[in-house]
Structure formats: C-alpha cells, structure tokens
Structure 1
Amino acid sequence: MVSPEATPFAKTGGLADVTGALPAALQEVGDEVAVVMPRYRQIPYHETESAFDNMVVFAGSTPYRVDIRTQVHNGVRFFFVEAPYFFDREGIYNVNNRDYTDNHKRFAVLSLAAIGIAQTVFECDILHCHDWQAALTPVYLADQQHSNPRFANVKTVMTIHNMGYQGIFGKAAFSDLGLNWGWFTSDKLEHFGDINLLKAGIQTSDWVTTVSPTYAREIQQPEGGFGLDGVLRSRSMALSGILNGVDYNEWNPETDKFLPANYSSGDLSGKRICKRALLEEFGLPSDNLDRPLIGIVSRFAEQKGFDLIAGIANLVAERDVQLVILGSGEPRFERIFQDWRRWLPHRVGLYTGYNNALAHRIEAGSDIFLMPSLYEPCGLNQIYSLRYGTVPVVRATGGLDDTIQEDTGFKFSWYSVGALYDTLRSALGAFENRDSWTARMRRGMAKDYSWTASAREYSALYQRLLGRG
C-alpha cells in the first residue's frame, strides 16, 4: 500500500485511519501487506531502522537520493521514505493553510520510492495506492512495465477517499515528473490544461475503489464527481465501493479508557454516568439527565453540513435540549458557535480544536449525534455513534446512507435547513418514548462495521485481479 499518511504515524483525516487499520485486517485474512509512506518530521527517526540506504529514484533526468527506514506496527511492516528535503517540514501538505508549491515533486518521489521498494525490498503482486498523493504510482509502473520484467504481472488498485481533493497543478509542473509528453493527454494526466494526479491514477490503475457503495455511484454523477464524473463513468466496469471499517479495539464503550464509566448494550447504566460527566466537563447543567443531549465532532466545513447546522439555532433555543460541539475549521463557523455559547450558556458547550479523548466522551455521553454532511465518502463518527448507543441524525449521502438505517437512526435526503430541522425534531420526539429509544440504541450497538468484512472484500478483489478468484 502506498499512502501519504497512516495512523499512528501521521494523520490529517480518515485516510490515515484506513491505511492504519486495513493492512492488519488483511493480514488476518491471509494476505501479506506492507505500507509505504513518507517519514515526516513527527515520526521519530530513532524508532525506525534501515531497510535500504542510498536508493536513487529518477524523475526524468533528476535523481533523488532517498533512504528507506522501517518499523513494524501492529504486525504490519511500514516503510518510510527518508527524504528530508521534501518531508522534514512543519506540516504534512501545507503550513499556515498554504499548500507547499512542490507537493507534486514530493509525492512523485513517494510513488517512485514505492516502486523501488517493490523491486528491491518487498516484492509484491499488488500496488494499492491511496488518494492523489499516491496516484502517480500506477503511472510510473505503467511507464516501466514494458522494460522491467519484474513488474510484468503486478496489478494496481487506486482508492479514492474524497473526490474533493485531486492534486491539480499547472502545466509547468509536468516537466518535474519525469514523464514524456505523451502522458500529457486528456485520457491520462491532462485536465483542462492542468495536471490532475488523481485523474492519472484513475485512468492507469487496473481497478478503482472508493470507500462506500453509495459514494461509488455518487462520484459518477456531476454533483459528486468534481469534474471527473465522465472519467469515472468511462471506468465504471472497473470501479467499486467497499465500505470502510472501524477499529473496535479503540472505539468500544465496554473497554474505552477515555470514559468515566464503561457500559454495554446489556447494561447501559454507565452511559448515564458518561452523560453527567460530559455535561460537567462542558460546564453545562447536569440536573436533568432526561433532557436530550446532541453531540457534534467534526471539521467545521461546508462539506460537513455546517451551513445547515448554523440554521437550527432556534430549535436549540426553543426545545429543551443541550448541545456539545468539538471541532475546528472555517472561522465563520467557529464564530457562529461562539455566539451560540454566549447566547445560550446553559444549552451549548463548545471546544474548538482537536481532542481525541473528548471525542470519545462525546460519543459516549450524547443521546443524539448530528452529521448532516453535504457529501460524505464513508464517515466514521456515525459508526462510532452506533456502537456507543448514540443515535445518529444524518443526511442520506455516501457512507452515511449505507450505514444508517431507519431502525438505528434518522436520515434525510434533501440538503436544506428545513429537512434537517424536521428530521431532528422527529428524533427529539422519538427520544421521549424511552423504551423504543433504548431498543433503537441497542439495535445500533449490535451492528458490526469492523474491518474484517472490508478486508475480505479487498482480498477477494486482489485475487480476481491476479486471476486467482
């Protein structure tokens, strides 16, 4: 697997959770897996060891010397591309919200090094590439396959985690990639005069996957394809959606070390303790635990439906509800929630920033989890919510539609404040019937979205590509 990030080493989003957990699950079903990623500044050099020194990879006539470091985590071999001139930086992709101008070269070297590792250190049957940062891997492989018999039978899989990020660079950057100009065509890298790395990976890989079945359909439509829907439709016979899993070793209310009390579907008393402690942590009144508590854990962005959430202030004010919010992102949304906090100090709690332990406590202590995304390739928090007995209210898009059913949560289709308002009001009405609400909680807690099923689907895909299944 080739990825720009993986937990626990480097993370900016859900991609890291996938490449941190899926390899171990694949090994449990019998595949041998290694992960290739950069060694960023935050990954301690002294905790890795040498796998290959002085590897030289060429982007055309430009040589880049890299070392390959390695470490085993959770039974999986990780290879780190040691290139300080590209990866020893303050941020992973950007600093102060400004992308590094040489990102195309940085991740070209990642892809070239992955191919070098596949030739010298870890021979493989499949190169599985994740997002635009690894999308040059199948391009370079195709460029070399005719001259390198080692790669004659190697197959490539390209996984799209979010169509909103494609790796688009100006035409002038093409000469940095070391490819001949025959690759700069509309059926390969060229896209409206620019370079589009994700498009290149889609066009040249043997198979394309994305992270839920519904999202695989949505990205083939103009509103979900971000300009690549036609390209994806042309590859529809080699495109599928495999739902992401979650790590129940980390997200399990029966064992979660971040909670003040553990609980299970058979004994929910600990959830009430978690609710009281969460209200106290946010400085909210905890005298009435029968008052519904709505939780939000998210990046503050339009994609996550925050323009809809901003429109439900009156519901929070009018109904006897409380709201706890954890996240950061667009300043306009941060200001809105700060205003809410000042306006309704006994109703609204806000933590601006990242806090993993608090995210666990919000999942456990809330009654309802709100996730009205404009689009959501898979989503993880709604799956965590199910396991923690916190009923999700979601928009029926992507993985949200695949994982939330009418008997475990509430969902709406039309992207509007009115639709969210009505659905949330229905959920609050249902909350008043404690017996049926508890039954709904328990049905959600019984759902199994672990990585095991996803790993079996990926493994079966690999076998089919290799002509073995």
Structure 2
Amino acid sequence: TVAGILNGVDYDEWSPEKDKFIVANYSPQDLSGKAKCKQDLLAAFGVSKTDTKLPVIGIVSRFAAQKGFDLISQIMDRLAREEMIVVALGSGDKPYEEMFLRLNRQFPQKTAVKIAYDNTLAHKIEAGSDMFLMPSRYEPCGLNQIYSLKYGTVPIVRATGGLDDTIEPWDPRTGKGTGFKFTEYSGEALLLTIRQALQAFRDQNSWQTLMRNGMNKDFSWNASAKEYVRIYERVRQTRTVSAA
C-alpha cells in the first residue's frame, strides 16, 4: 500500500493574522483588513483608477506549460475582457512572460505583471487577491493553494495531484467547499471554471462563507505530523498481526 502525505505549511509565516509583509492583518472573525490589502496590492502593481470592487485573480508561479500556462495562453485575450483584474508574479518561459507583458500594455487596468520573484509581493498577492489561479497540468502537492486558503483567497485549480487533494468544490446550496476546480485539461474548461467563480463572487454573503471555509482548514505541519504517526501506527499494527 502506498500512502501520500501532504506538505505542511508554516502558519507563522503564511497567515493573514501574523503576516508582516501586508498592510493590514485580518482573520476569519474580522475580514475587514483584506479590502485594505487589495487596495495595497493594486497600488504595488500600478493598477490605479479602477473599481476595487472588481475581483482580483492572483498568480504566483513559474511560467511554464507544466503549470498550465499553455491553457491560460489559449484564453487570455478573452479573460482580459472579463470583469476582473489579473495580477501575476513570476518568470519562466519567454512566450508566457511576453503574453503577460503584452496584455499589460493592452489592458493596463485589467492585467498587471512583474517578471521576477519577490517574497514581499507574493505575500501581498495572497492577501490582496480574491482568487488564486493554479491550472497545473500536474502538481504532486503544491503550496500556494494552501497559502491561499489561509488568506481567504479562493483557489481555482485543476483537479490533479495535491490540488485535487486539498481543494473541495464549492457548493452554494450547502455552503460547503473551499474553491473551484476542473478536470479536463483545456482552455475552455479553465475559462468556464473562472466564470463560475466570478459568478459566485457576486454574492458576497455566500462568498464570505466560502472564504472562511478555507481559512479554517488546518494544513499545518502539526496536521501532517499526525498523519505520519497514524500511518506508522497502522503499519506497526499490521506487522504485529502478521507476526502473530
């Protein structure tokens, strides 16, 4: 039997209640600081004179096909025309870097990018975005979607590997779930899922339930350590029975 255990997250570093890199701290009990983080994020990326009520989708990633950027490239022109703002941080394959730079020139109030990795900006994106995009072709575990949950930044992911394991599909009828995900590896499936998230965002009461669902999840190293202990104990008991 093969068992997989998810990576743990250091919530001393990645938590909106403690984060030293963001303009305002917030918690599941008091979400008011997130709006200030959103304004600060847009200012940091030079997005001004825009409606801050528009949803912001954040991306922090290596720009590569493995991370699903080939899917993003298929739909990016249409995506830039949706009622939303895309903020991307990362570097990698030149065609994807150029894609974001071109769209930033064409839609400067809808698409912002920094070709780099900057830890402070990564924290600002997690705190200031409304949604976080990870449409990976494959992802053994992934950490950014777990950070996003803690920050109330709703993940939009492809149902593969650790992304599938950590994100529960949102069901507005029951109020359960932590994000949005799709299975088919295609630009159209990605676009449909993003549009579902944008539609859900319009109902802010329901959206805050979704945010809190994710923020209350525990993916700390304590949780991972307990899973290690549980599996070791199960193996020990199995060997004890076999020896008897």
Distance 1:262 1:374 in 2: 33
Q: Which residue is equivalent to 1:307? A: 70
Residue 443 (structure 1) aligned with residue 206 (structure 2): no
Flag the structure with higher strand content: 1
State how far apart, in whole Å, the 2-side matches of 1:246 and 1:258 are: 17
The answer to whether structure 1 residue 288 and structure 2 residue 51 are counterparts is yes
Q: Say if 1:292 and 1:431, in contact at 8 Å, map to a contact too.
A: yes
Q: Is the 8 A contact 1:376 1:397 kept in 2?
A: yes
Find the aligned partners of 1:340 and 1:268 in 2 and give their Cα distance: 31
1:461 to 1:320, Cα distance in 2 relative to 1, 3 A:
closer
CA distance in 2, matches of 1:246, 1:468: 33
Distance verdict in 2 for CA 1:420–1:256, change over 3 Å: same
Partner residue in 2 for 1:273: 36
Structure 1 partner of 2:198 = 428
Per the alignment, in what secondary structure is the counterpart of residue 59 of structure 2? Answer: strand
> 409, 414, 421: which is aligned to 2:179?
409
Distance 1:448 1:350, change over 3 A: same
Tell me by how many angstroms 1:354 deviates.
1.2
Deviation at 1:319, TM superposition (A): 1.6
1:287 & 1:354 partners in 2: Cα distance? 25
CA contact (8 A) 2:80 2:111 kept: no
Tell whether the 8 Å contact from 2:142 to 2:163 is kept in structure 1 after alignment: yes
TM-score (norm 1): 0.48
Distance in 1, Cα, partners of 2:99 & 2:42: 21
**Equivalent position of 1:257 in the other structure:** 20
CA contact (8 A) 2:79 2:191 kept: no
2:7 counterpart residue number: 244
Are the aligned partners of 1:280 and 1:286 in contact in 2 as well (CA < 8 Å)? no
Q: Deviations over 1:40-98 (max 9, x none)?
A: xxxxxxxxxxxxxxxxxxxxxxxxxxxxxxxxxxxxxxxxxxxxxxxxxxxxxxxxxxx
Task: Give the 3-state SS of the residue equivalent to 1:438 in structure 2.
Answer: helix
Return the match for 2:151 from 373, 379, 388: 388
Report what 2:122 is aligned to: 359
Once residues 180 and 117 of structure 2 are traced to their aligned partners in structure 1, the CA distance between those partners, rounded to angstroms, is: 27
* 1:316 CA displacement: 2.8
Q: CA deviation at 1:287?
A: 4.2
Query: Does structure 2 retain, via aligned residues, the 8 Å contact 1:276–1:286?
Result: no
- Alpha-carbon distance in structure 2 between the residues aligned to 1:446 and 1:360: 19
* 1:130-169 → structure 2 map (5 Å cutoff): none
The code of the aligned residue for 2:184 comes to: W
Amino acid at match of 1:274: C
Matched-pair contact (CA < 8 Å) for 2:97–2:115: yes
Q: Which has the higher contact order (CA 8 A, sep 6+)?
A: 2
Q: Deviations over 1:250-304 (max 9, x none)?
A: 1010010000110111111110000001101111025422111110000111111
Aligned residue pair count: 232
User: CA deviation digits over 1:287-328, x for unaligned, max 9?
Assistant: 422111110000111111000111222333322211100011
Alignment counterpart, residue 454 of structure 1, candidates 218, 221, 224: 224
Instruction: Report how far residue 462 of structure 1 moved.
Output: 4.8
Larger Rg: 1
Q: Tell me the distance in 2 between the aligned counterparts of 1:412 and 1:361.
A: 26
Question: What is the alpha-carbon distance in structure 1 between the residues aligned to residue 230 and residue 240 of structure 2?
Answer: 9
Q: Secondary structure at the match of 1:240?
A: coil
Unpaired stretches in structure 2, ≥5 consecutive residues? 170-176
In the alignment, does 2:149 pair up with 1:379? no
Report the Cα offset of residue 433 of structure 1.
0.8
How much is the aligned-residue C-alpha RMSD, in angstroms? 1.7
Q: Which of 337, 341, 344 is 2:100 aligned to?
A: 337
2:112 pairs, out of 349, 366, 369, with 349
Query: What's the CA shift for 1:461?
Result: 4.4
Give yes or no for contact 2:154–2:178 (8 Å, CA) kept in 1. Answer: yes
Q: Distance in 2 between matches of 1:287 and 1:331?
A: 29
Residue identity opposite 1:438 in structure 2: Q
Q: Name 2:173's counterpart in structure 1.
A: none
Q: 1:367, 1:391 within 8 Å by CA — same for their partners in 2? A: yes
What is the TM-score with the length of structure 2 in the denominator? Answer: 0.90
Aligned position for 2:174: none
